[in-house]
Amino acid sequence: MNQPVYVLGGYQSDFAKAWARNGQDISDMTREATLGALHACQLEASDIDSIHVGNAFGELQRQQAHLGSMVAQVVPELWGVPAMRHEGACASSSLGILSAMAEIEAGRYDCVLVLGVEEFKNLSGNESSVNQNAAAWQGHEGFDCTFMWPAAFGRVAMEYERRYGLDRRHLNRIAEINYGNAKKNPLAQTRKWQFDDLAFTDDEQANPVIEPGTRRQDCGQITDGACAVVLASARFAQAHANRIGQNLQSMARIAGWGHRNAGLRLLDKFEHSKDHPYVFPHLRQTIEDAWQRAGVSGVQAMDGIETHDCFTITEYVAIDHLGFTAPGQSWQAVESGVIAPGGSCPINMSGGLIGCGHPVGATGSRMLLDASRQVTGQAGEYQIDGARRMQTLNIGGSCGTVVSFVVERN
């Protein structure tokens, strides 16, 4: 990386809130997150040089596109600031972060707002589920199903079973950990949810099959939500730190990044990797790119991970691709406790997509904000003791778009 990019702070909405039930919509979410981020960072609107908005399904859910201009519409103080919208399915706001970083590294701008925002609760669950199918290759995926994404990631579980063997007890344990972590997160969608003793088993009543390979508790929680972060150059961050009486060394910075893409169709990815040790080689490459740019050798340099668990199998995939174990042996990290609270490298202390919630376009920025809070000691009840370096892994579609960031404090 040419120069460091600092995370000045940010704001996350309450992921348990269903905005339409309060007579509000995506515009209100945009306003709250934008103003919240400015307040949290002790910035004025005039400090913002550029704006990036991540959103996947605004046209389908609310018939609302052109979300770059939505920011100035609801926060008039930002009228005239250049803005653009990014779509990369669940990785949409991570693409906004990458674009903001490029602007800062190029010297074009010094202080950039990145906002992820998504609204789902304005429509029925079935309608929202159908809309999300747009992140797959419509009509070409090659398998029949009622619910595309539970079916697709059920196929990933089946592929792991075919290649390496898979014990569903380990997927159930991942769900149990992430729901448990969410209870300590005051903004998590599921923080007040209660489960019975059979919820994290393969009991057909307590945890029924949704699609082959996927049960109820395997599924991340699609929800409404917005999350904004403010990124800055070293020059701006130093001046801002001086102004608010803070030490630059105490701020989070993005030390490395990785970004790669594959095609839309899931079965083509399996075919592409049939002779490779990893099911998703480009996912492994993304992670390695982030390490290389950050100047670290691997996951052993991390104090924690915020990863994409749209389904439990997605986190299971992340575990071996991150190098916790050899390919196909993710169960070892689940059984050893290394990824649980108190382990040497906890995963998804926020609750992740399963526990915290998954407002698709906001997930990448939420991961970055949580990683930044961890390394600056601001994660509250779900703080990892002594955390100084975190990694995020954000996945769009069936690993079509993959982005990873390494976040650290000097």
**pLDDT for 410:** 80
Whether 287 has a pLDDT exceeding 90, the answer reads yes
Q: Which residues pair with 209 in a beta bridge?
A: 215
Q: For the residues 118-129, what does the mean pLDDT come to?
A: 96
**pLDDT for 82:** 98
**pLDDT for 3:** 82
**The token pair that represents 18 in the structure block:** 């269903």
Q: Where does residue 298 fall: left (phi above 0), alpha (psi -120 to 50 degrees), or beta otherwise?
A: left
Q: For the residues 51-62, what does the mean pLDDT come to?
A: 98
Query: What confidence tier does 1 reach under pLDDT thresholds 50, 70, 90?
Result: low
Alpha-carbon distance 104 to 102, whole Å? 5
Q: For the residues 254-262, what does the mean pLDDT come to?
A: 98
Contact 115, 30 (CB under 8 A): yes
Q: What are the tens digits of pLDDT across the range 133-166? A: 999 999 999 999 999 999 999 999 999 999 999 9
Q: For the residues 230-239, what does the mean pLDDT come to?
A: 98
For every residue of 232-262, which 3-state class applies, written as one string? EEHHHHHHHHHHHCCCHHHCEEEEEEEEEEC
Q: How far is CA 368 from CA 129, 136, 145, in A?
A: 26, 25, 33
Alpha-carbon distance 313 to 319, whole Å? 10
Percent of the chain having pLDDT more than 70? Answer: 100
Whether 2 has a pLDDT exceeding 80, the answer reads no
Whether 221 has a pLDDT exceeding 60, the answer reads yes
Name the DSSP class of 324: S
Q: For the residues 71-80, what does the mean pLDDT come to?
A: 98
How much is the mean pLDDT over the chain?
97
Q: For the residues 38-62, what does the mean pLDDT come to?
A: 98
Q: Give every CB contact of residue 172 below 8 A, 6+ residues apart in sequence.
A: 200, 201, 202, 207, 217, 312
Q: Give every CB contact of residue 173 below 8 A, 6+ residues apart in sequence.
A: 200, 334
Q: Which helix (H) or strand (E) holds 392?
A: strand 389-396
Contact 376, 246 (CB under 8 A): no
Whether 260 has a pLDDT exceeding 60, the answer reads yes
Alpha-carbon distance 87 to 100, whole Å? 14
Q: For the residues 245-268, what does the mean pLDDT come to?
A: 97
Contact 81, 72 (CB under 8 A): yes
Q: Is 261 exposed, middle or buried (0-12, 13-18, 19+ CB in 10 A)?
A: middle
Q: How far is CA 15 from CA 52, 223, 383, in A?
A: 21, 7, 19
Q: For the residues 7-12, what does the mean pLDDT come to?
A: 98
- C-alpha count within 13 angstroms, C-beta hemisphere, residue 371: 33
Q: What are the tens digits of pLDDT across the range 324-375? A: 999 999 999 999 999 999 999 999 999 999 999 999 999 999 999 999 999 9
Q: Give every CB contact of residue 144 below 8 A, 6+ residues apart in sequence.
A: none
Percent of the chain having pLDDT more than 90? Answer: 99
